[in-house]
Structure 1
Amino acid sequence: VWAEAMEIYRSGRWKLTFSPEMVRYLKEHQRDFMPEDTKAGMIQAFLDSYPGDTVCSKQLYKEALNHAFDEPKQWEIREINEIMNQCVTGWNYFSNPRMFAGYGRQKGWEREQKAKADACALATDTGNGAGKTPEGFTPVPEQMELPF
């Protein structure tokens, strides 16, 4: 076994990388141990209720982080970009600039197709009838017995 390992090492036909599945798992696991970022939470909450399909960094700075009258500094834009690319789910980056009302031509993010369908379903759901009995009541599951 040692000779085989040395032969592979000397040939240069080796690499020390994880499989793509392992990389995804490790990134998810790593998030569990990262400190909470309040800005990431504010941005995700804003995007979850946002009716549009595209956003830009300036828009997130002004609307999600409540800086309506301030101009973002370059480091704040970089911070928002990092949050969007690393922490926020359901949005994909696009590099070709698009027009944003009030913000001009900007690069940004667009909602993923599955997330679009979910947001559309939430927007059209009036809350009447879904999961209700014919009489209009919401079924309540029977409570389990206490074990003691």
Structure 2
Amino acid sequence: MVMFDVLCGDFNFDNCSPDDRLEQSHSVFEEYIDPCRAGAGREKPWVIGTLLEQPTLYDENIRTPDSLQRTLETEELRKDYISPPVPVEGVPLVYPEPDQSWTGRRIDYLLYRESSVSSHGKTELEEFTYVTQLAGLTDHVPLAFRLSVSLDSQHM
């Protein structure tokens, strides 16, 4: 019995760039749950982009795990270090939308799917984390999550 399956990696598109609209509507998001996604082109309010601007990788504000964490927690600083959305050529970019916070490009995904257990149990996201321990070693902010899987007592 498959309890759940996970699909993760660098997908090379984000959920905020107008230039990535086609990918944002891909059918993979009908099969898998993206805990960061509010819908095609819309992130949940707590989401942070995962693609760091390469020229700034060794700046003091992101070169250590502690400084990267502080920067990610501060929207004004994030704007200087997380890659901004990619506009459609020839169309001015309006970002963020008036009622949205500045997120930046999230091209790294952790998706999960309930499988055969879905009729006999439940899979829930317990924790979602941005990992800062690799600061200075990669231009991606690694992600982690913990899932809770439970079975109905009659199916154990």
TM-score by length of 1: 0.23
- Pick the structure with more strand per residue: 2
- Pick the structure with more helix per residue: 1
Q: Which has the higher contact order (CA 8 A, sep 6+)?
A: 2
TM-score by length of 2: 0.22
Larger radius of gyration: 1
